[in-house]
Structure 1
Amino acid sequence: MTTMRSSPAPAVSGPTAPVPARPPLGYRPIVDLDSGAVVAVEVLSPAPSASRRGTREVTRQETEVVAEWLISLVREASGTESLLPLVLPLPARTLMGGQEFVALVEGLLRRAGRRPRDIALMLGPELAGLPRKALAAGVSRLRAAGFRCGFGTAMVRPDLVVEAAPFLMRIDPGIVAGVAGDQRHATVVEGLARIGRGSGVYAMAAGVGSADDVVRLRGCGVRVGTGPFFATDAWRPGERVTPVPEPAVERGGQEDAGPRVTEFLVPPVGFDADATAEQLLEAFTDDPALNSAVLVDHRERPVGMIDRTRFLLSVTGRYGHALHAKRPAMRLAEPPRTVPAWMSALAALRVAGRDTERVYDDLIATNAYGQCLGVVRVSDLIGSLSRS
């Protein structure tokens, strides 16, 4: 998951349904188990009582209350000044509210200054009790609107995971808790991670409690997790988390020595692959220090890199705005130069030097799934290595 820049959206009219008072929000960091970077923030809050009915019918009032509740979570979380993607709880039965609910949430979200792709909606364990077709259709509607969708429990049939294709699948704390010392737990976790990889679903370990858990989870193929090992319940976005153990990487010589590229990561400014050149131009204009922007697909994998200098030469030159502004920025993008997050800074510098025409272009650090974790400026690598 990456840090995205949101563009202002036109105001839309929202519902007037009252939102019940609720306790203060809790926050939980979602951490990349390889790099130790916080890649998203999970917001913790009990669902409004209107969404806890046992009947299958979902009324308009219920959809309005849940939509307003979700947006209130977004607004309050925005007060932390965190630009990380958010993972929000969503009562699973709300999926039966149809397209009306999805359109309502999308409109209110854009009014709050966030894009659907910045939000993952985590369905509770009660999703297993929903009619299969209704669940798959509801997830499909969320995905079509640009939202990420997660299953808040791994206790669903594997074929349902394949059919619905959520973005995330949470592995229950009860399973994760014994992963370091119980081979049976490790086998279950490894199986769930394989199901996820094979179906394009990212397994997330919940309840990670120790450094040994982190090491074993990585061995099982799990790449993101959350739990008391990383932070206490008092954690707030922007605060530090407990560092993860160093991955056991085979070192082949001097080029593998020294700091890893993760020490030089800066948050990426990412855009959908279909973003227009005008949107990129606005980003570069607003931030004079921005060297590059990353174009990513629906799985947060980089598909294009926009270099500031070459992009501005194309767009601001004679007839450049007329030719490019309303068209996809991908037309002006170059292939992303990626390096794995575990790579050493010296080895990354060697990668940068392979292309003499783009030797100073930013590199993109990726995790084991090929997702963008951040941007590495070659000038930072050179400066650090020259001093050492």
Structure 2
Amino acid sequence: MSAVDVLLPSRAVFQPVVDLDTGHVVAVETHAGPPAAQTPEDPRSPHYPALRIDPAGEDVRRAVAAARATADLRTRLPLQIGLRAETLGLGEAFLGELHQGLGEAGRRPHEIILCVHGGFPPAQRPAVATAIRKLRQAGYLIGLAGLGAVHAPLDLLVEGSPYLVKLDPELARRAGADPRRAALVTSLVELAHRLGVHVLAPGLASEEQVLAQRELGVRLVQGPALAPPEWRPGMRVTVPVAAREEPRRERPEALLGPRVSEFTLPAVTVAHTATADEVLEVLNAETGTTSVVLIDERQRPRATVDRTRFLLRLSGAYGHALYAQKPAGILADVPRLVPRTVPAIAALRAAGQENDRVYDDLVVTDELGRCLGIVRVADLIRSLSP
């Protein structure tokens, strides 16, 4: 029995990452840890596995075990997995073990958000920054956790080019009742938006805390207020809604126009060789998914499957019999690609040039043409409307 096998999947904890704008689950945080009653979402809890005093090898094995725990859950949502900053600073041997283990768990790099947490001394800065860069080059999405409390330099947000930043849980929970903490969260959200980075507020325990984060400009949230400890992918989540929707606060950068990266959501992807039946299985399992991106072995988008058109084709007379075992690409479209640095208004104009696909999801790519996520045109319209 291997060290990973000792970390039983039955002890794995799953939490949904919820998009407040749509009410859908866009990613799943998973880790092999203690019973959920021990509030593992709080990194400062002694029970939080990611911050125990463990050898780096144990940290890597725990991350791999977390990915393996989702293998039987039949979800293609991106996984968010924690990793200690100190582990990243120990060199390529650990990164190689991590990459191999996650691959054996059946997940490709672009389907995983590696959320780096825990502070590190200044002397480890070069090693940590190098490791983050190499993970990004391999295709992993990077998250930086504990923002607002962890001992890590803010300019790592520039050098590391993370996909998302995760607020300190205690800061997120108390921001709604403490004006000074609310001011700090607002500043961090402003900074993240200017850098084209998502903000995630974890550990929210009440409806008031969720609504407070929404008012402060946070779009991605997680915590007991949204899902019970026994939550698993496919189960429903509770999304609090304000009694009266207040107008969104105008951000200073609105005059310049936000970039498309601000609206990017994790993409649900399958190999471009997948059959129509495999794509149908993904859409049935993830009811909030509006599209599936077909990617090649280098994580580059080859085609997109629009949920509505795809299901209409399969539900027609003999549709399933005709297409189920054929490549899904037959029922797919050429992907509408937008670089992550493109202004949102330019992306919206590009979407309007195709009358028959005006509301299709856009596929956001990085500098190497790899899939970073999708943007829903409706989000662009809402954000740019006066």
Q: TM-score range by the shorter chain?
A: 0.5 to 0.7
Q: 1:202 to 1:374 in 2, by over 3 A?
A: closer
Q: Is the 8 A contact 1:99 1:141 kept in 2?
A: no
**Counterparts of 2:51 and 2:17 in 1: how far apart (Å)?**
27
Q: What is the alpha-carbon distance in structure 2 between the residues aligned to residue 182 and residue 48 of structure 1?
A: 28
Distance 1:236 1:282 in 2: 25
Per the alignment, in what secondary structure is the counterpart of residue 363 of structure 1? coil
Gaps of 5+ in 2: 34-48, 248-265, 284-289, 311-326, 328-332, 339-349, 364-371, 379-386
Q: Partner of 2:167 in structure 1?
A: 171
Whole-Å Cα distance in 1 between the matches of residues 142 and 268 of structure 2? 22
Q: 1:336–1:364: 8 Å Cα contact kept in structure 2?
A: no
TM-aligned CA deviation for residue 292 of structure 1: 6.6
Match of 1:40 among 18, 27, 30: 27
Correspondence 1:21-170 to 2 at 5 A: 21-22=6-7, 24-46=11-33, 47=49, 52-53=54-55, 62-63=56-57, 65-127=58-120, 131-154=124-147, 155=149, 156-170=152-166
Contact 1:71 1:112 survives alignment (8 Å): yes
Change in 2 beyond 3 A, CA 1:200/1:128? farther
The share of aligned pairs that are identical, in percent, is 29
TM-score norm. by structure 1 comes to 0.61
The amino acid across from 1:104 in the alignment is E
Which protein has the larger Cα radius of gyration, Structure 1 or Structure 2? 1
Q: CA deviation at 1:17?
A: 6.4
Q: 1:52 to 1:227 in 2, by over 3 A?
A: same
Match of 1:385 in 2: none
Return the alpha-carbon distance in structure 2 between the equivalents of residues 239 and 305 of structure 1: 26
State the distance in 1 between where 2:121 and 2:229 align. 28
The answer for the alignment partner of 1:220 in structure 2 is: 216
SS state at 2:73 partner: coil
Kindly state the Cα deviation for residue 285 of structure 1 after the two structures are TM-superposed.
7.3
2: CA distance, partners of 1:303 / 1:249? 40
> In the aligned structure 2, how far is the partner of 1:117 from the partner of 1:239?
24
Structure with bigger RCO (C-alpha 8 Å, 6+ apart): 1
Match of 1:321 in 2: none
Partners of 2:97 and 2:16 in 1: CA distance: 28
State the aligned residue count.
289
**Post-superposition shift, 1:241?**
1.0
How far, CA to CA, are the matches of 1:268 and 1:161 in structure 2?
22
Q: What's the CA shift for 1:355?
A: 4.5
Structure 1 residue 288: deviation in Å? 7.1
Q: What TM-score do you get using the length of structure 2 for normalisation?
A: 0.61
Shift of 1:166: 2.3
For residue 200 of structure 1, what is the amino acid of its counterpart? G
- Return the offset for 1:226: 1.0
8 Å Cα contact 1:304/1:336 also seen in 2: no
AA matched with 1:176: A
Contact 1:116 1:145 in 2 (8 A): yes
SS of residue matched to 2:272: helix
Q: 1:44-67, CA deviations, whole angstroms, 9 ceiling, x for partnerless residues?
A: 3355999725xxxxxxxx54x544
